Amino acid sequence: MQFKRIKRPISGVLLLDKPFGISSNAALQHAKRLYQAAKAGHTGNLDPIATGLLPICFGEATKFSQFLLDANKTYQAVFRLGQTTSTGDIEGEVTGRFPVNLSFEAVKQAMQRFIGPISQVPPMYSALKFQGKALYTYARAGVEIERAAREVTIHSFTLDAFGGDELTVTVECSKGTYIRVLAEDLGRALGCGAFMQALRRTRTGGFEIGQALTLEQLEALTPEDCDQRLLPPDCLVSGFPKISLDRESAYYFRQGQSIWLPKQQNAGVMVLYDEKHELIGIGEVAPDGKIAPRRLVVQNTA
């Protein structure tokens, strides 16, 4: 499909199934070119060797992308037992080989130790920044940077299949979780070492991989059909209370002014619409009881 070269102020959310072998940014730029979007961003990095759900926000939807960045994620992964690598995944050099003699039950019991809040030390081969540069740039230069452990939460960790030296697992976890590190830590707990052989993200927040399109599928669609596959920007904040404002209140809220609504029972973040049910943005109840604007969309582009 081809678009005119002019950048379009298009807004919405594309659920992309990122392919193996390219970075999340490369996938983002590809989708941005296909849509000729003026503004775009993704909502959670996937390494080049990982595939799966990569929500991409265009235009006004980028203002709400943080809610997906903060959301829980679900992954299906393959761990290889009996070996360790320099990167914790299949891209690294093998640094150790160990015998594997484990039962299905022994592996399941070891996995149970990782459910709940756990501490992880971010890997050197990661995009985390130190003094303005990604950690992987130091790692490639042979420089080790001290990293502080941080707490993440493993909500569920299930063993889907186990054969020989290979595990297939499903992990539901909080943001910031490194599945590579989980593989290495499980390998240590089992006494045989492990690394991550494959990774696929299947869920982000309320979105499922079955809703996603591949780049090849997008390229086969007409521009009109591509636009139809975009979800509205407010899909990113669908879990918050919704409030419809009258014309006067909507006007002042769009100007960035706090408003007061009688009999307002909600607290925290809420999504606000005008009398035509067009998205205005999100607000939050301030200490004085008024709803203060937090993110506003540009009118007639949402």
- Is 185 found in the same domain as 118? yes
Asked if 77 and 193 sit in the same domain, the reply is yes
| pLDDT tens digit sequence for 97-134 | 999 999 999 999 999 999 999 999 888 776 777 777 77
Instruction: Answer yes or no: do 85 and 185 share one domain.
Output: yes
Q: What does the buried/exposed string (b/e) look like for 219-258 if buried means 16 or more CB atoms within 10 Å of the residue's CB?
A: eeeeeeebeebbbebbbbbeebeebebeeebbeebbeeeb
What distance lies between CA 134 and its chain's CA centroid? 19
Q: How many CA atoms lie within 13 A of 189 on its CB side?
A: 15
The catalytic residues are 47
Is 55 in the same domain as 123?
no
Average pLDDT over residues 219-238: 94
Are 113 and 178 part of one and the same domain?
A: yes
Residue 94 sits in the same domain as residue 50: no
* Closest to 91 in 3D by CA, of 143, 56, 126: 126
pLDDT, greater one: 82 or 130:
82
Cα–Cα distance for residue pair 152/118, rounded to 1 Å: 6
Question: Which residues span the domain enclosing 280?
Answer: 240-296
What's the CATH code of the domain at 34?
Answer: 3.30.2350.10
Alpha-carbon span 80 to 180, nearest angstrom: 11
Residue at which a domain ends, from 218, 235, 252: 235
**Does 264 have pLDDT greater than 70?**
no
State the Cα–Cα distance between residues 48 and 40, nearest whole angstrom: 19
pTM, rounded to two decimals: 0.90
Say if residue 115 is in the same domain as residue 37: no
| Residue 138 or 102, more confident | 102
Residue 301 confidence class, pLDDT cut points 50, 70, 90: very low
- Residue 137 main-chain phi, psi, to 5 deg: -70, -35
CB atoms within 10 A of CB 150: 13
What is the enclosing helix (H) or strand (E) of 65? helix 65-69
pLDDT digits (tens, 9 = 90+) for 208-220: 999 999 999 999 9
CB–CB of 151/117 below 8 Å? Answer: yes
Residue 200 has what pLDDT?
Answer: 98
| Residues 92, 174 share a domain | yes
User: Nearest-CA neighbor of 179 among 120, 103, 258, 99?
Assistant: 120
